[in-house]
Structure 1
Amino acid sequence: MSTRQLMNHEGIATPIAKEQAKELSIHGHTRIDNYYWLNERENPEVIDYLNAENAYLDQVMAPIKPFEEQLFEEMKGRIKKQDESVPVKEGNYFYYVRFIEGGEYPIYCRKKENLDAPEEILLDGNKLAKNKSYFNIGGYEITDNEEIMAYGVDTISRRNYTVSFKNLQTGKLYKEKIKNTEGGSYAWASDNKTFFYIKRDQQTLLGYQVWRHTLGTDVKEDVLVYEEQDNQFYMGLYRMKSKKYIAIVSDHNGVSTEYRLLDATKPIGDFKVFSERERGHEYGIEHFQDKFYIRTNRDKATNFKLMEVKETDVANKTQWKDVIAHRKDVFLETLEVFNNHLVIQERKEGLIELRVINQTTKEEHYIDFGEPAYDAYIGANPEFNTNVLRFIYTSLTTPNSTFDYNLDTQTKDLKKEQAIIGDFNKNNYVSERVFVVARDGARIPLSIVYRKGTQLDGSAPLLQYSYGSYGYSTDATFSSVRLSLLDRGFVYAIAHIRGGQEMGREWYDNGKMFKKKNTFNDFVDCSEFLIANKYCSSSKLFAMGGSAGGLLMGAIINLKPELYRGIVASVPFVDVVTTMLDESIPLTTGEFEEWGNPKNKDSYEYMLSYSPYDNVEPKAYPNLLVTTGLHDSQVQYFEPAKWVAKLRTLKTDSNLLLMYIDMEAGHGGASGRFASLKLIAKEYAFILDLAGILS
């Protein structure tokens, strides 16, 4: 394998951001931030600097531009140009999404009563996105009489969705539009004209109010029905599967939950609290016939248990009865209710298990999946009266597969496996699942995949990925774009580190707040395991993470920069302390229980001890590619911009430091089915070139 690389920054002028000292003082401690001024989004000098960074990246990567374009075409070429999802039956219709050749966006469709019926196009994303640099449909809801559709569209990438209403019989739009809503948090009442939505605060970008709209009336006449007073809570809104209730969910992640319910047949009524918020009590509910199922952590059920209560006895917690007791080694994630079956999605030893319970006979079984590392989850199941479960299965070697599972006969029916165009054969790849013993004795699952024939003697390059925050579990899923690495001899590893929830709730609790450093140490310990066990060497080890995973990247290169050849940090949350001190920045207040509130001295000192931006120092760093979006609503563009500017000033090495700013996109990058691959191609070209793989 060649060790030559084509990227070279010699002779190319490096962008330099001016230094303008800003004193930031709290708790008797002062920090100097020389790049604080970069948060002025409308300042032409800021835009000029960001454009200069893009121009510098283009120059440095120019020698591999043809390779980057080759990778993009390769990735694009694996995707079926004309494709459609497996239809889901709800009410009188089968709903599905399809893509057409040359189209970037989904077309939402339905057929009445059977799949041979004429197709109705509900929304054509390609037509709606015409002449727009960014476009995203943020969910839709259809009335009970199946005649009116409400849908949200974002054309800026700040996740502010404008709701429109469409008459599905005439195809015409109603004149009213509702701006600045929370995408997907919509609900119709059963009268087919009353519509509920969440409005977002335009400073914090938090959903904070629920409003009621009557179809055909001026939006100015809408009625405020609930306002969340605590900005540490995130809000959701939906119609429950039973259709009887509309639910408002207020959730303080990892701390507390509160549901409010409204009878959908009485839309002018008041939402009533199901169980009042209480610190330490998290719960979720599912209505079925005359009772509620409750997934709850009450009574010290750390990994949650399942309870039930009669509709009439909700307020009396002594009437809540255990259905599935708490288990220390099994995390209860979610459930699906059918007339005669319960399906429980559980997690044990880092892997999803689907448990089926016959409610009549009380017999139960688990669905067998048969691979060492995989992901499986409950799909769309809008109907109660069926014995068929729709679930999704994927693994590091198996493309996304949609199954219908007969809950009585225990037989699977593969409805669709994601088509991979070309010579892909899943038998050409090997997946492994091992456990790494961390420095404090914790056993960290590590999922690994590579192409058969790859030599595991330390000579192979390896890309290690993780996230490790918010209790989000990074499961072992398939990726068609990843084949561009595996087929060129790369090993790929997912480290299921603390901060996620792969090993249960304690796994999350031990990777947040004052235990956050476990997340970073776990990742480093996995890296050292991979090197020690000859999956790669430090000269061939690469790491990638985005958002909170970008924070992870910033932390590990401050801790152990010598371990890594190159790092890709996508939309990285790296200026932890300054951001968390500024409650006007979107999402800050809702995350105090994840990172801590630096207005408290002990939290400030702990966060300051790992914040990547605050811990940049004069030393050698690995090659680094940083990506961001100017309109990012979750990690503001100026965090990575400041980080890169500071690294340029202090780092002592001659390694590459590149930043790409999408001037038209936000946290999720470019919209469109294929356009989003361009950034991945850029990231992979960066990594492959550093590995000496030039084609």
Structure 2
Amino acid sequence: MTEATVPEAPVAKKVPSTREHHGDAFVDPYEWLRQKDNPEVVAHLAAENAYTDAVTAGQQPLRDAIFEEIKRRTQETDLSVPARKDGWWYYARTVEGQQYPIYCRVRADSAGGPARGAVDEGTLDAWTPPAVVPGTAVPGEQVLLDGNAEAEGHPFFALGGAAVSRDGTLYAYSVDTAGDETFTLRVKDLRTGEHLPEVIEGVFYGLEFDPDGSRLFYMVADDSWRPYQVRVHVLGTPPEQDTVLYQEDDVAQWTGIDLSSDRRWLLVGIGNSEYSETRILDLADPDAALRLVLGREERILHSAEPFEHGGRTRLLLLHDGRPQGPEGSAPNSMLSLVDLSETSKPLSEQRWSTLVPHDEQVKVEGADVSATHLIVTLRRDTVTTVRFAPLADAVEAADAGRTPSFVEPQFGEELYTAGGGVTEHGAPVARLSFTSYVTPPCVYDYVLATGELLLRKETPVLGGYDPGQYVAERAWATADDGTRVPLSVVRRASVERDGTNPALVYGYGSYEVSMDPAFAIARLSLLDRGIVFVVAHVRGGGELGRHWYEDGKKLHKRNTFTDFVAATDWVASSGWADPARIACMGGSAGGLLIGAVLNLAPEKYAAAVAQVPFVDALTTILDPELPLSALEWEEWGNPIEDAEVYAYMKSYTPYENIRRAPYPKVAAVTSFNDTRVLYVEPAKWVQALRAATTSGQPIVLKTEMDAGHGGASGRYEAWKERAWDYAFIADALGARELLPR
């Protein structure tokens, strides 16, 4: 498109709205765009989409090429590795040309492989998944849910949760057909294929059967989209008769449910990022009441897993220490054992045994128990891995005051992600996953008795993918305060360190979420165009333990942004990139990061993509009626009550700090039905950016009108969205053409 034919960017009308807090007044001319049902708002978003389409029309061939590359490399007819539970093998499969997975199962005694009728259920043979061939009919297969059929007639489809009764006869599931992450719950009788008459609307994530299949436990969110109620539905009764097992009235607390590994206990977890509470319900006793095991008043961030051992009910506690007890503070978490009977005593009188002590260099990320083993997930030097110990040995050692001996599988790469746990409590294997920037996802069964790793599947990458053509390395940037910030640098092996290459810097840096190494087929389209892909593991994430998170939240939040700028400076001076050909990208809270970074150093970037960006954070968090706002206080601080927090947030929130500056090409990508980050934030941000930029570079807003926070739901639509983002970056960096092989 020539400069003369570029249409005028949409200009939203200005309707001044004044926000006043702590003696400060902020006049917002675009707050009226929050009126989602206003036809003027819908028309404005449509005009923005039309403008975006016109400005980026020249990128369509590149988008098509990237989409086809993703499609060509993906085995479209495929299936997950079957997982065994209650005498069935469960798996999901995809079919070429269909958008959504099909969820299936087949009986363990008729699924191929060894002669099941002659196999001892405790042996390894009984836990060897059937050799199901993609695209080949499976004898005896039963379809639980066909996502394609469920999505028919709807612009969006997502599965929120699913559960099968212990006897295998009932399948409960919840679906979202709007993209707002509010689900409808139904129950299917697997004996007849018919649905039970009850339909429960407005449920949240979280769904579990009790052992006899007569009751369903599910979650409901309040008007601010905060999960606050655990409800109980008795099968065969009207939903309006459902009872509330637990209700959380504190607007700053999030509630969720889960089952213990042995499925005897329903766990109700309440908490935020700083402390939590656990209640449990004994599902073996129909008359049992919900029992408190560790309350929020103790201010201990924890999770609990009850299990039976040696005739006693024990609790496996992952926690950040007892500041008033012998453990002291344990910010990187530790693992303890306590008898359930001890929890009826005051905390100071309870006897806890240490399983895994606190370590300043290693974060304990999670723990699980099988009938025979303890499984612990750890993070060391940014990388997650797993360790195993026989449960009897671990309990004996902890009770004797010794640290148990663990075995850790070795995977042979520097930067990788390994994790997993128990799929069936009594299984002789644990299911593990492994991936890296260059290794496609692998599924292993870890033989608990011997430590043997059995590869069950490596995700196929079609078209002759050769991991030797790509390199992933660790590098370190130095922040303004001297802190060393880890970077993951991924590139084609043929790229030379000559200072001429394009680069993309990606980051997140909030909620203690780590950007762990993972393979991505779509990323190959960037690497194959010579783009050096750099993940900046900035403070606010969890890559280097709890302190890394604490140093990037609340009144330390600016560290997240300055770390990212320091990462960009490293890229510019490393020799891997041309300083004039660097782009940045991030989504959600990572979109806030991109917005803040562009205000700090717009001249360092040639382009930016902000996906569902949280760029008007202060306005959102000041309104406790908006979705999730009150829960955000533990992450950012409470600007309603605290003037210092208000002033600090106002100093960095992207929308309020736009200035006359040479902003690069910017694409803000959002979804009309997103309940986490409302579309209004990027809509306002784009208007303000256009008015302030001095560069003349286009700033566009792309709104998906039928999607939610994660974007479009179908896999082909998701590939198109990723191709759109990557084409915007590659075009801006002058990296449209593939490198020679």
TM bucket by the smaller chain? over 0.9
Q: TM-score, normalised by structure 1?
A: 0.97
Distance 1:169-1:458 versus aligned 2 partners, 3 A rule: same
> How far off its partner does 1:621 sit?
0.5
How many residues are paired up?
686
Give the aligned partner of residue 341 of structure 2: 312
C-alpha separation in 1, matches of 2:196 and 2:10: 50
Give the aligned partner of residue 163 of structure 2: 141
1:207 alignment partner AA: P
From 13, 16, 22, the counterpart of 1:27: 22
> How far off its partner does 1:279 sit?
5.8
C-alpha separation in 1, matches of 2:33 and 2:343: 52
- Partner of 1:12: helix, strand, or coil? coil
Post-superposition CA distance 1:230-275 (Å, at most 9, x none): 011111112221111111111212x111111111133454211111
From 507, 512, 525, the counterpart of 1:466: 507
C-alpha separation in 1, matches of 2:192 and 2:45: 47
2:244 alignment partner AA: L
> How far off its partner does 1:78 sit?
1.4
- Partner of 1:643: helix, strand, or coil? helix
Give the aligned partner of residue 315 of structure 2: 292
- Partner of 1:514: helix, strand, or coil? helix
Residue 659 in structure 1 maps to residue 706 in structure 2: no
Contact 2:260 2:307 (C-alpha < 8 Å) held by counterparts: no
> How far off its partner does 1:389 sit?
2.0
Residue 225 in structure 1 maps to residue 245 in structure 2: yes
Distance 1:441-1:531 versus aligned 2 partners, 3 A rule: same
Residue 245 in structure 1 maps to residue 269 in structure 2: no
Range with greater deviation from structure 2 (109-118 or 598-607): 109-118
Contact 1:341 1:387 (C-alpha < 8 Å) held by counterparts: no
Distance 1:8-1:131 versus aligned 2 partners, 3 A rule: farther
Post-superposition CA distance 1:298-345 (Å, at most 9, x none): 220111111111232233342221111111111000012123322211
Give the aligned partner of residue 396 of structure 2: none
Give the aligned partner of residue 3 of structure 1: none
From 370, 373, 383, the counterpart of 1:351: 383
From 65, 71, 82, the counterpart of 1:70: 65
Contact 2:527 2:533 (C-alpha < 8 Å) held by counterparts: yes
C-alpha separation in 2, matches of 1:53 and 1:267: 57
Distance 1:165-1:358 versus aligned 2 partners, 3 A rule: same
Q: How does 1:674-689 map to 2 (within 5 A)?
A: 674-689=716-731
From 329, 332, 341, the counterpart of 2:361: 329
C-alpha separation in 2, matches of 1:26 and 1:261: 41
Contact 1:8 1:60 (C-alpha < 8 Å) held by counterparts: no
> How far off its partner does 1:355 sit?
1.8
Q: TM-score, normalised by structure 2?
A: 0.91
Distance 1:394-1:358 versus aligned 2 partners, 3 A rule: same
1:191 alignment partner AA: D
Distance 1:279-1:551 versus aligned 2 partners, 3 A rule: farther
From 539, 545, 556, the counterpart of 1:515: 556
1:561 alignment partner AA: P
Q: How does 1:265-304 map to 2 (within 5 A)?
A: 265-267=284-286, 269-278=288-297, 280-289=299-308, 290-298=313-321, 299-304=328-333
1:312 alignment partner AA: S
Residue 124 in structure 1 maps to residue 119 in structure 2: no
C-alpha separation in 1, matches of 2:439 and 2:628: 36
C-alpha separation in 2, matches of 1:579 and 1:385: 47
- Partner of 1:138: helix, strand, or coil? strand
C-alpha separation in 1, matches of 2:459 and 2:423: 22
C-alpha separation in 1, matches of 2:736 and 2:89: 47
Range with greater deviation from structure 2 (528-537 or 35-44): 528-537
C-alpha separation in 2, matches of 1:9 and 1:301: 62
C-alpha separation in 2, matches of 1:399 and 1:82: 17
From 659, 669, 673, the counterpart of 2:711: 669
Post-superposition CA distance 1:617-647 (Å, at most 9, x none): 1111011011000000000000000000111
Give the aligned partner of residue 132 of structure 2: none
Give the aligned partner of residue 120 of structure 2: none
Q: How does 1:436-585 map to 2 (within 5 A)?
A: 436-585=477-626
Q: 1 or 2 for the larger relative contact order (CA 8 Å, sep ≥6)?
A: 1
Distance 1:9-1:428 versus aligned 2 partners, 3 A rule: farther
Identity of aligned residues (%): 37
> How far off its partner does 1:55 sit?
0.1
Range with greater deviation from structure 2 (382-391 or 24-33): 382-391
- Partner of 1:675: helix, strand, or coil? helix
Distance 1:112-1:615 versus aligned 2 partners, 3 A rule: same
Structure 2 gaps, min length 5: 113-138, 322-327, 394-403
C-alpha separation in 1, matches of 2:298 and 2:219: 24
C-alpha separation in 2, matches of 1:558 and 1:98: 45
Contact 1:53 1:660 (C-alpha < 8 Å) held by counterparts: yes
> How far off its partner does 1:10 sit?
5.5
Contact 1:538 1:565 (C-alpha < 8 Å) held by counterparts: no
Residue 16 in structure 1 maps to residue 11 in structure 2: yes
C-alpha separation in 2, matches of 1:665 and 1:545: 18
Residue 87 in structure 1 maps to residue 119 in structure 2: no
C-alpha separation in 2, matches of 1:537 and 1:124: 48
Post-superposition CA distance 1:148-184 (Å, at most 9, x none): 111000001111011000001111001111111112x
2:292 alignment partner AA: V
- Partner of 2:407: helix, strand, or coil? strand
Q: Which runs of 4+ in 1 moved over 6 A?
A: none
Give the aligned partner of residue 613 of structure 1: 655
C-alpha separation in 1, matches of 2:692 and 2:553: 29
Post-superposition CA distance 1:46-76 (Å, at most 9, x none): 1111000000011111122122122212212
- Partner of 1:449: helix, strand, or coil? strand
C-alpha separation in 1, matches of 2:466 and 2:216: 48
From 618, 626, 651, the counterpart of 2:668: 626
> How far off its partner does 1:7 sit?
8.3
C-alpha separation in 1, matches of 2:715 and 2:157: 11
From 192, 212, 215, the counterpart of 2:213: 192
> How far off its partner does 1:9 sit?
7.8
Alpha-carbon RMSD across the aligned residues, in angstroms, is 1.5
